[in-house]
Structure formats: C-alpha cells, structure tokens
Chains A and B, each alone.
Chain A
C-alpha cells in the first residue's frame, strides 16, 4: 500500500468516526449551552436510536425509514423527560442534572435490554452504500464514505439552522442571556424542550448511522458517552464550532493512535483532553474557565 493511499484511507476512516462523534458531541454541547445541563443519558439515547432504528428497518425493510423515524422517536423521549423531570429542577444546582440524567441512563439502558434482549443486533447498511469502493487501488467500505458525507451535511445544516433561522437565533440568544430572552416575550421553557429534543434526536441519528458499523448492542452507550464528553470538554462547553473541531481532533487521534501505538490508543484521547484543559481550562473555544 502506498503511503498516500494509506493516509487517504485512514483519514477517511477518521472522518467517518468524527461524524459519529460529532452527532453526539454537538447535541450535548447545544443542550449544555442553553440549559447548563450535562446530559449523562446522551450515550443511552444514542443506543436507543440504534435499537429503534433496527426495529423500524426490520418492519419497513428500509434503512431510510429508520433514519427518519428513529431520531424522531428518540427526540420525543428526550422532550418527555425534559417536560416531566428536568423542568422541576431548574432552580437546583448543576449536579442535580448530572445525577438525574445518570438515573435516566440506568433506567433507559435496562428498558432497552428488556425490550430488545442482551444480544447485539446486526443492522444492514442500505443497498447503495453496502459495498466497497477502490480509492487509489485500496478497498474502502462505501458506508464509511457515506458516514463522512452525512456528518458534513448535518454539520452544515445545524450551522445554517443556528445562523439563519429564527429558532436558531433564539437558541443562540438564550444561551447568552435566558432572562432577557424571556423578558422579550419568548417562552424559554418551550425553547429548552425544543433544544433538548433536538439534541437527543441528533444522538438518535448517530445511533441509527452507527448501527450498520458496530451493530446495535447494550454496550455501545458506555464507550460513546465518554468520548462525547471528551469532545464537549475539548471543544468548550456550549460551542458548536468547538465540538466540530474536537470531534475531528479526537477521531484522528483515535484512528492514527490505534495504528501506530495500539497499546496506548485508549490513553491518547484522555491525554489530549488533559493537555487542552491545562492550557485552556474552558476548552478550545469555551468562554468560561
């Protein structure tokens, strides 16, 4: 394999990995930005997306239906949780949210295990992207290319949504000064429900898209939530661009670390995070220290 081909395929690998991480990280960071909540259940919602996606894909026979319906379902679960439980806690300190969402992660994880069983479930990639393509004479799974593309599309969509739409404007405003937004006549509670739902829905998209790659399994939440936290912290809590940069950084560190120093690969990500935090305690693009 030529060096160039190696770097191209590994970089594309990293890009597809970054896309998955970004789906989680951006949801977490949006939620944190507007609600000051660290959502511990985010990994479990991602897992829920994978399992619901599996069921929808089996029932309808279409991966695309799963990609559409599962994130909606996950977003709905998130909004229900926000409405029923988080809303009671807005007067309390940040740790209350961390704990209550940890509780949700436990509960949801068990429900998933009861509903779908403990075994890993294989989800078929859509026909169009199931094969392999040759890049510089090296075989490469088409699905990973599709993932990288999906990541770019979603990133651009969210950016345009935050930048151009009225709801995006309100979200940015409320993350800076919720009292003012409320005083100007916007229902901030409704806004919070919406953002929590959108964030959870993004995790759901990540879950559906990850399923053909890693199968839907009850262990998938645990590894992913930690990675997503790392991304949010490296990027800076509440920063959209930060989460994008951090997802790329972490994915490249993971993929190339795994290749060159497989024994230390697990540690690399944490070392990267420690390094960033020591230099910039608020994260790369974070405001607060």
Chain B
C-alpha cells in the first residue's frame, strides 16, 4: 500500500510521508537501545545529526553520488558510536542516559563552533540530491526519493527483525531483564551493549543521512537535546520494545504536529500533555493499545 502512495497522494502529503518514514527509521533505531536492551539514550539526536552533517558534507564537497554518500555517512556514525558507547557503558541506569546526553551536547557544541566544516549556526544549506550513474537519477525526484526512503526503511526493518529474533537479540533481552544474570551466564554484556549502541547509531545515522538531501539542509537543531527528547517521545508513544511501534509513533508525532500547528501555535503544549497521558495511562504505546484491542490477531505479529 505504501508503495502505491505516490500515485494517489497530493504533493504535500508525499513530503510529509517521506519525512514520517525517515523519522520512523530514526525512532526504530533508538528502540533497539531503549525497548530491547533498556539503554535509555537521551542523546540519540547525535546519531541523526552526525549522519545528516556527514552526508550533507559529502554531497556538498565531494562528487560522490547520493547512493554512496548516504550509506557512508551511516557507516561513519556507527564507527563513531563505538567510541561513544565504549565510554558510556562505563555507567549504567540514569548515568548512562546523562552520558549519552553529554555526548550529544558535545557534538552540538562542535557543530556550533567548527564553522569551517559545519557552517556554524547557519548549518549546511543547499545540499543536492546528486543522482548516481546507471539510471539511478530517478531517486532524485520527489517520488523517487520517497521510494529510496521506503526501501531504506524496509531493509532496516527486515534487518532489525532478524536481529531481535537472533541469538544476539536474545542476549539483548537478557540484558534488559537482568543484566547481572546475563553476565553470570558468561556473556560479556558490555560488548553486547557497545554493539547495539553502534548499530542503533548507524541506523539513526542512516535516517539523518537521508534527511540531509531530503530537506536540503542540516543544522544544529538536528543535534539539539530537544530532538533527542522528541524521538524518545515517538518511541514511547508508539510502543517501545516493538519495531513497528516507533514507526507508528513517528508518523503520529508528525501528523499531530502538523494538525495542531494549523490550529494553534502552542502545539508543543498539547503534545506534552498527550505524552504525559501516554506515559501514565498507556505505557505500552499506540501499538500496545492496538494489539490489546485486537487481541490475538495482532498480538502475534510483533
């Protein structure tokens, strides 16, 4: 159904849908940490922002095509994340959250100050969607870019699904439920945590890398802690501990933001209230509500 969307939807809806897919990918990547391993990251915007700046820089200053720049940026984000995770996993619980936040703010400070590379407070602008050779030019158009995003999200979803059902995923859930026990069973939990952070950052970086050519710019807001909070909202509202939930959450976030901002300037006010209500009354999120509603039919497909 999503594959046919470009033929049926008006232009602005296409743009919104593409953005929803990108944010969905971003939220899903965070849920690998939050939902599956209980590593509450408060600095996931670092992954997105890094990916966006990296792909933006590559597209602006080198001649390589979008299809190379985007995966390359994601890979870089994953590599940087290994270092970040190595330090952050010294701490656990709330300290871990705060450390991820500190790293994101460090990146924010760098993005602000390193003007020659990041453009400082102006950010990078005019990022081209440079098509590659062999008729990949179609990805440069609005519908083409939508398909590119859809392919990326589908591939990432399939990858994550395989991942969480693999033995690796079982260890992650072991860490979530009882890290000491998992450690006692002989698993080096710290290595597993570093690996999942690197994967989450690489996928988050992929989302950011797609965002830069999508929007045509990358600025410091993409690394700001508010954005880290927003993506956490998407995960929780959608349903953490599932892969489809965060994607729904991201779409919900965008639609609500879009609709509310038509009526009132203070959409963040209502969004905050909706978020608080979800945390209190529906900790399982939208997907949790749906599966509870439709009982067994939906419950098995997570």
A residues contacting B by CB (< 8 A) are: 32, 38, 40, 85, 88-89, 92, 94-96, 98-100, 102-107, 109-111, 113-114, 222, 226, 229-230, 233, 237, 263-264, 266-267, 270-271, 273-274, 277-278, 281-283, 289
Interface residues of B (CB under 8 A from A): 34, 40, 42, 87, 90-95, 97-99, 101-103, 105-106, 109-110, 112-113, 225-226, 229, 232-233, 236, 266, 268-269, 271-273, 275-276, 279-280, 283
User: Given known contacts A38-B94, A95-B34, A281-B90, what 19 new A-B pairs fall within 8 Å (CB)?
Assistant: A32-B94, A85-B276, A92-B283, A94-B94, A95-B40, A98-B97, A99-B233, A99-B275, A103-B275, A103-B279, A104-B276, A226-B101, A229-B101, A267-B109, A270-B105, A270-B106, A273-B99, A274-B87, A277-B87
Q: How far is the CA of A106 from the CA of B113 in the complex (A)?
A: 27
Find out whether the CB atom of B109 lies under 8 angstroms from the CB atom of A266. Answer: yes
Complex: how many Å from CA A32 to CA B269? Answer: 26
B102 touches A100 (CB 8 A): no
Q: With A233-B95, A270-B102 as known contacts, state yes or no: A99 contacts B236, CB within 8 Å.
A: yes
Which residues from B are CB-within-8-Å of A85?
276, 280
Q: Which residues of B contact A99 (CB under 8 A)?
A: 232-233, 236, 275, 279
List the B side residues contacting A106 at CB < 8 Å. Answer: 229, 268-269, 271-272, 275
A-B contact count (CB 8 A): 109
- If A94-B93, A103-B272 touch, whether A110 touches B232 (CB-CB below 8 Å) is no
Question: Distance in Å from the Cβ of A222 to the closest Cβ of chain B?
Answer: 7
Counting chain B CB atoms within 10 Å of each CB, which of A106, A113, A114 scores highest?
A106
Chain B residues within 8 Å of A104, by CB: 272, 276
Contact among B110, B275, B280 with A89 in the assembled complex (CB-CB below 8 Å): B280
| Nearest Cβ on chain B to A165's Cβ, whole angstroms | 28
With contact pairs A85-B276, A103-B279 given, residues A111 and B102 touching in the complex (Cβ less than 8 Å): no
**Which chain A residues lie closer than 8 Å to B229 at the CB level?**
40, 102, 106
Give the docked Cα–Cα distance between A225 and B15 (Å).
Answer: 34
A110 near B266: Cβ-Cβ < 8 Å: yes
Find the B residue at minimum CB distance from A226: B105
B95 touches A281 (CB 8 A): yes
Chain A residues with CB below 8 A from B225, complex form: 222, 226
Q: Give the CA-CA distance A277 to B84 in the complex, in Å.
A: 13
The distance from the CB of A22 to the nearest CB of chain B, in whole angstroms, is 18
Contacts A/B (CB < 8 Å), 22 sampled: A85-B280, A94-B94, A96-B279, A96-B283, A99-B233, A99-B275, A100-B279, A102-B232, A103-B279, A107-B276, A222-B225, A229-B98, A230-B98, A263-B113, A266-B112, A266-B113, A267-B106, A270-B102, A274-B99, A277-B87, A277-B91, A289-B91
Enumerate the 10 nearest inter-chain pairs by beta-carbon distance, A residue then B residue, closest first: A106-B272, A266-B109, A110-B269, A107-B272, A103-B276, A103-B275, A270-B106, A103-B272, A270-B102, A110-B268
